[in-house]
């Protein structure tokens, strides 16, 4: 554990080992890059203005942008230099920044966090065996739960980038077409089955050209960092529309990401082995080393005006059957090109037990097992006024690296 002259709680998500990047603004300050440290945000534009970073030989203008994309595009060596600089400058005993403390350190509670990345293309995978199996059992029965392709390739599909919002932006319940009764025509109205999906996303920091592939061996060079992701879903809209070309309006009314992007460097101590893959995968999907991450995840629901939240799930990123390196190798095996700012999400991360399922669809098992809230009400899906909060953190030998949260309130349909 490193010690900093900035004081923070032992259980902070943001110790000196984490240093996640984000974009913030205030009434006085325009969009700029910030780095979380304890309950503070380091104003990187103000820090760059001190001149103390001039020796890093990187373009300091990246800190004065609306999005992290130019910073990510500098490459991992540059962001590692920035991390090392910050870990030195904020280390206990280093007083070089003290004269600038008031302009460089702001309280997180006094800034507004913005969408951190201009998300170019967004892909959602479907990489949790437990989730795919649960959904399969509900809709096709136990015998045909997993589709024949599922264990041979990381199933994925394209999502909508425009409607991805940052934590704190509330979303309206969507309207649309559903068919509640298969013997009657479809009807129009607001969705009655708004659901969260507990996911994590990773962000691409290095582009490829059309035609190029990325191997599992080199995939990590392309991954800048990770965020918490809530892939909001309107199950009734999705059910009626998705055959044969996949989810569309059931998903694209909004998706929420956390404000802080945690770098892969910060997550390095938390690598673990993934599930054994059987049958053996094709050579382009094989990999060496530990490519899963031990990231604790939890989902809480805070009903409107409730005095407390209710935890409805605790899961872990390590359960994922397909890892990020495999997802990236698969995504590019046909030559599809990557851009800085692409986001790829895991798909709902469900664990093996009902209390680790990653969506209300599974937790309340299609509405047959309503979930009790601490305030005495029950939930089959998300109600108007409910705030859904996803949190995530790694913890090991006294070191905690956290993601903060992604928090979204569902407002009534417009």
Using rule CB under 8 A, residue 381 touches a second copy: no
* Residue 412 interacts with a second copy (CB under 8 A): yes or no: no
Is 333 strand, coil or helix? Answer: coil
Residue (187 or 273) nearer to a second copy, CB: 187
Write down the catalytic residue from 131, 296, 330, 331.
Answer: 131
**CA 238 to CA 141: how far, in whole Å?**
19
Q: What is the DSSP letter of 330?
A: H
From 30, 210, 288, 397, residue interacting with a second copy (rule: CB under 8 A) = 210
Nearest to 20 by CA among 58, 59, 72: 72
For the bound state, the minimum distance from the C-beta of residue 373 to a second copy, rounded and expressed in Å, comes to 26
Is 218 a binder of a second copy (CB under 8 A)?
no
Tell whether residue 201 is a contact of a second copy (CB under 8 A): no
Rounded CA-CA distance 132/146 in Å is: 6
Please report how close the Cβ of residue 85 comes to a second copy at its closest, in angstroms.
Answer: 33
159 binds a second copy (CB under 8 A): yes
- Please say which residue, 263 or 350, places its beta carbon nearer to a second copy: 350
Q: Does 215 bind a second copy (CB under 8 A)?
A: no
By CB under 8 A, which span of 155-163, 222-230, 303-311, 317-325 interacts with a second copy?
A: 155-163
Binding to a second copy in span 110-149, by CB under 8 A:
120-121, 123, 126, 147-149
Looking from the CA of 412 toward its CB, the CA atoms found within 13 Å total: 2
Burial 175-206 (b: 16+ CB within 10 A, else e): bbebeeeeeeeeeeebbebbbbbbbbbbbbbb
User: Please, what is the minimum distance in Å from the beta carbon of residue 327 to a second copy?
Assistant: 11
The answer for residues whose C-beta is within 8 angstroms of residue 58's C-beta and 6 or more apart is 74, 78, 81, 82
The site map against a second copy for 226-265 (x = CB under 8 A) is --------x--x--xxxxxxxxxx--xxx-----------
The minimum distance between CB 402 and a second copy, in angstroms, equals 28
DSSP sequence for 265-328: HHHGGGEE--PPPSSPPPGGG---S--EE--EEEEEEE-TT-SS-EEEEEEEGGG-SS-HHHHH
Active site annotation includes 131: yes
In angstroms, the CA 331 to CA 234 distance is: 26
Counting contacts by CB under 8 A, is residue 276 touching a second copy?
A: no
Find the binding residues for a second copy in span 304-363 (CB under 8 A): 330-331, 333-339, 342
CB of 124 to a second copy, least distance (A): 8
For the bound state, the minimum distance from the C-beta of residue 34 to a second copy, rounded and expressed in Å, comes to 24
The residue from 11, 217, 282, 352 that contacts a second copy (CB under 8 A) is: 282
Cβ pair 42, 86 in contact under 8 A: yes
Q: Which of 31, 152, 271, 366 binds a second copy (CB under 8 A)?
A: 152
Residue 57 CB-half CA count within 13 A:
1
* Residue 175 or 409 having the CB closest to a second copy: 175
Residue 414 makes CB contacts below 8 A (sequence gap 6+) with 172, 175
Buried b (16+ CB within 10 A) or exposed e, 264-295: bbbbeebeeebeebeeebeeebebeeebbbbb
Identify which range of 22-30, 77-85, 88-96, 205-213 contacts a second copy by CB under 8 A: 205-213
For residues 21 and 227, the answer to whether their CB atoms sit within 8 Å is: no
For residue 317, give every residue at least 6 positions away whose Cβ sits within 8 Å of its Cβ, in sequence order, or none.
200, 292, 293, 294, 295, 297, 346, 349, 392
Residue whose CB is less far from a second copy, 102 or 188: 188
State the nearest-atom distance from the C-beta of 334 to a second copy, in Å.
4
**21 vs 232, beta carbon nearer a second copy:** 232
Site for a second copy in 2-41 (CB under 8 A): none
Number of residues binding to a second copy, judged by CB under 8 A: 63
Q: Are strands 164-166 and 255-257 parallel, antiparallel or unpaired?
A: parallel
Can residue 156 be called a binding residue for a second copy (CB under 8 A)?
A: yes
Cα separation, 309 vs 112, whole angstroms = 23
- Asked whether position 158 contacts a second copy by CB under 8 A, the answer is yes
Gap between the Cα atoms of 238 and 385, Å rounded? 22
> Would you tell me which residues interact with a second copy (CB under 8 A)?
120-121, 123, 126, 147-149, 152-153, 155-163, 165, 171-172, 174-177, 179, 185-188, 210-211, 213, 234, 237, 240-249, 252-254, 279, 282-284, 330-331, 333-339, 342, 414
* Residues catalogued as catalytic: 131
């Amino acid at each position: 554990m490193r010690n900093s002259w900035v004081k923070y709680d032992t259980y902070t998500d943001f110790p000196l080992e984490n240093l996640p990047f984000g974009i913030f603004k205030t009434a006085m300050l325009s969009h700029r890059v910030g780095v979380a440290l304890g309950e503070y945000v380091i104003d990187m534009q103000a820090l760059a203005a001190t001149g103390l970073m001039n020796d890093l030989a990187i373009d300091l203008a990246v800190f004065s942008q609306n999005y992290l994309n130019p910073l990510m595009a500098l490459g991992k060596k540059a962001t590692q230099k920035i991390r090392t600089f910050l870990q030195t400058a904020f280390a206990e005993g280093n007083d070089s920044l003290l004269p600038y403390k008031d302009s460089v350190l702001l309280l997180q509670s006094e800034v507004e966090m913005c969408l951190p990345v201009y998300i170019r293309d967004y892909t959602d995978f479907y990489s949790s065996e437990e989730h795919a199996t649960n959904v399969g059992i509900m809709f096709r029965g136990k015998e045909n739960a997993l589709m024949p392709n599922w264990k041979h390739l990381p199933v994925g599909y394209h999502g909508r980038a425009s409607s991805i919002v940052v934590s704190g932006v509330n979303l309206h319940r969507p309207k649309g077409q559903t068919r509640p009764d298969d013997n009657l025509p479809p009807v129009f109205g607001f969705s009655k089955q708004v659901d969260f999906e507990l996911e994590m996303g990773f962000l691409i920091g290095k582009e490829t050209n059309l035609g190029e592939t990325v191997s599992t061996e080199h995939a990590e060079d392309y991954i800048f960092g990770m965020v918490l992701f809530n892939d909001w879903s309107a199950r009734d809209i999705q059910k009626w529309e998705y055959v044969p070309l996949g989810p569309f309006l059931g998903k694209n009314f909004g998706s929420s990401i956390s404000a802080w992007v945690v770098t892969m460097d910060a997550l390095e101590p938390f690598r673990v082995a993934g599930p054994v893959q059987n049958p053996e995968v094709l050579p382009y999907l094989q990999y060496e080393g530990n490519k899963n991450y031990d990231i604790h995840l939890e989902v809480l629901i805070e009903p409107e005006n409730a005095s407390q939240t209710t935890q409805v799930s605790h899961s872990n990123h390590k359960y994922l059957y397909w890892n990020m390196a495999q997802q990236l190798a698969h995504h590019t095996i046909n030559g599809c090109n990557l851009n800085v700012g692409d986001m790829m999400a895991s798909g709902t991360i469900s664990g093996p037990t009902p209390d680790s399922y990653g969506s209300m669809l599974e937790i309340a098992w299609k509405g047959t097992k309503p979930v009790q809230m601490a305030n005495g009400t029950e939930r089959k899906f998300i109600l108007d006024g409910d705030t859904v909060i996803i949190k995530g953190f790694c913890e090991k030998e006294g070191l905690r690296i956290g993601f903060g949260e992604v928090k979204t309130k569902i407002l009534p349909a417009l």
